[in-house]
Amino acid sequence: MRGFLDSYKAVLNVIGAVERVFGVALIAFITIAITVQVFTRYVLNQPLVWVEEAATYAFIWGAFVGASIGLKNDRHIKIATFVGFLTPRHQALMRCVAHGLTLWLMVWLMQKSLIVMGVEGRSKTIALPIEISRDWFYSKALFASAASMAFTGVYLMLLDLSRGFGLVPIAAAGPAQRDQHL
């Protein structure tokens, strides 16, 4: 099981690295686009109409990519008051339940986003210089993020199941390192 989990983790690390590069590129684009918008609006008195729409779409993608990165790096908010009283093995099993719920939600969101893509695909962008189907900025971003988080959720469930049933040792270094997944 350990070899499979190590291979799975390696794939997730590659996906995470791509997501981080994409996220940084989105933040850079937003920063540059808004700076150009401020310059053209207030200095040249000739605002570019497409910049705000493009920055908004980049922000939407950034939020979804950031959520996926947050799950991979265990950076989402969690309240572990009850779980903190359990043994390490039982903590792993409780995390497995939480990851299972997350996985279920991501699969549900993927199903719903596929339905919405058909509706959103009928409308196009408003101000961008080229016409792009709006589903690229809403439901496809949601689908990509949910798929990445579902893939991560499967790994986290398998890891915590393995820890809970003693197939993979739980690190004795403390909660911060024990909870470090990727």
Cα(156)–Cα(106) distance, integer angstroms: 14
Mean per-residue pLDDT of the chain: 89
The boundaries of the domain holding residue 118 are 2-178
Encoded tokens for 80:
């572990």
Q: Tell me the average pLDDT across 33-54.
A: 93
Nearest to 70 by CA among 148, 3, 130: 148
User: Which tokens sit at 126?
Assistant: 């408003």
pLDDT at 172 over 80: no
Instruction: Give the pLDDT band of residue 3 (cuts 50, 70, 90).
Output: confident
Residue 165 above 50 pLDDT? yes
Categorize the per-residue pLDDT at 178 as very low, low, confident or very high, splitting at 50, 70 and 90. very low
Neighbour tally for 169: CB within 10 Å: 10
pLDDT at position 180, please? 52
| pLDDT for res 169 | 79
Region 57-74 average pLDDT: 95
Q: Tens of pLDDT along 77-95?
A: 888 788 888 888 898 899 9
In total, how many domains does the chain have? Answer: 1
CA distance 104 to 86: 25
pLDDT on residue 49: 87
In 4-158, at which residue ranges do the beta strands (DSSP E only) sit? none
Given a cut of 80, whether residue 42 has pLDDT beyond it is: yes
pLDDT-derived band at 174 (thresholds 50, 70, 90) equals: very low
What was the pLDDT predicted at 168? 76
* 132 CB neighbour count, 10 Å cutoff: 13
- Cross-strand partners of 133: 124
pTM summary value: 0.85
Structure tokens at 143: 């689908």
- Looking at residue 171, the DSSP 8-state letter turns out to be P
Strand partners, 124: 133
Residue 179 in this model has a pLDDT that exceeds 50: no
Nearest residue to 89 (alpha-carbon basis) of 34, 5, 171: 171
